[in-house]
Amino acid sequence: MFRRTGTERTGRTDRTDRRVQDHGTGAAEPALRLVKVSKTYGSDDSAVTALDEVTLSLASGTFTAVMGPSGSGKSTLLQCAAGLDRPDSGIVMVDGAEMTGGTEAELTKFRRNRIGFVFQQYNLLDTLTVAQNTVLPLKLARRRVHRGRVRETLTAVGLGDRLGHRPDQLSGGQRQRVAIARALVTEPSVIFADEPTGALDTRSARDVLRLLQDAVRVHGRTVVMVTHDPVAASYADSVLFLADGRLVGEMRRPTVDAVAERLAHVGDDVMAGA
C-alpha cells in the first residue's frame, strides 16, 4: 500500500499544493491526485531519484500534457499515477479512491475499473479484429459488452466500417484510433496517453490529438498525456513541466511557441530553486 505522508511541502509547487489542501471544501473530487509521490531507482551511490515528492491535483474533464527534458521523470510520473509502477512513498488517488497495491491482482482490478491507456506502439493484438481489440479490457474485467456502444465508440473515432479488420490491415493512425476507442469503451475516470503521436505522421497525429480532445469535451474523461512535442502539448488545456523529478511549472492555454520557449528554459527553474 502507498504510505501516507503529512502536510505537503512548500516551495515551487505551492499553487498546486493549495488545490490539494482545498479539497473537501465542497469542490468536485479531483480525477487524479498525487500527494508527495516519490520514486527512486537503484541504491546507495547509484540511486536515481525519478520523482521527488510530486504533488498535483487534476480536475475531472481536463486535458493535461506532461513535459520535461529526458530523465525529468515524466514517464515515471505517468507509470506511478496509472498504477503501472509503485511509488516508494506518497498517495495516488483516482476519482477519490486511493490506489492500493496489496497484491498485483488488486492493482490490476483497480486499473481496469478506473484507468484507460493509449501507448505510442498501440499495443493491439494482431490476431484480433478491431472490435475484439476494443472490447478486450471489458472481457478481461468480466464486464458486460454492449455491442451497440462498441460500434458507437468505433464510429466516433472514424472506424465504424472497420470492425472486422485486423491491425495489419490498418494504418498507424487507424491503429491509434482503435487504442483510443479501447480506452473510451471502459468509461474510465482517467486516460493516460504515453507519447500517443510519436509514431504517426503529422496528419494522423493531429487527428489523434483531436480525438483525445473529444474524449474530454464530449465524453467527459480526464486525459493525461506525456509528450516531448510542443505541437501535441498545444492541444491540451494545460501543461505541467518536470525537471529532475520535480514539478517546476504549469502553463494554461498553451500555444506551440510558448511551450517550446518554456521547455527550453525548464532547467533554469531547477537552478533557481536550488
Tell me the C-alpha distance between 118 and 155, whole Å.
18
Best CA proximity match to 97, nearest among 190, 232, 230: 190
State pLDDT tens for residues 139-150. Answer: 998 898 988 999
Which pLDDT does position 260 carry in this prediction? Answer: 95
Q: Which residues make Cβ contacts (< 8 Å) with residue 272, sequence separation at least 6?
A: none
Instruction: Answer whether residue 43 is part of any domain.
Output: no
The dihedral through the CA atoms of 74, 79, 83, 88 has a sign that is negative
Residue 4 falls inside a structural domain: no
Tally of CA atoms within 13 A in the half-sphere of 219 that contains its CB: 27
Q: Could you tell me if residue 186 is inside a domain?
A: yes
Our count of domains for the chain comes to 1
How far out from the chain centre does Cα 249 lie?
18
DSSP E strands in the chain: the ranges are 32-41, 48-58, 63-67, 89-94, 97-98, 115-119, 190-194, 222-226, 238-243, 246-252
Using a pLDDT cut of 90, give the percent of the chain over it: 72
Exposed (0-12), middle (13-18) or buried (19+): which is 93, by Cβ within 10 Å?
A: buried
Q: Return the CATH number at 205.
A: 3.40.50.300
Question: Which residue range forms the structural domain that includes residue 181?
Answer: 59-83+101-273
pLDDT tens sequence across 193-245: 999 999 999 999 999 999 999 999 999 999 999 999 999 999 999 999 999 99
Q: Output the pLDDT for position 29.
A: 84
260 lies in some domain:
yes
Residue 40 lies in a domain: no
Strands 32-41 and 89-94 turn out to be antiparallel
Segments in the chain below pLDDT 50:
1-26, 271-274
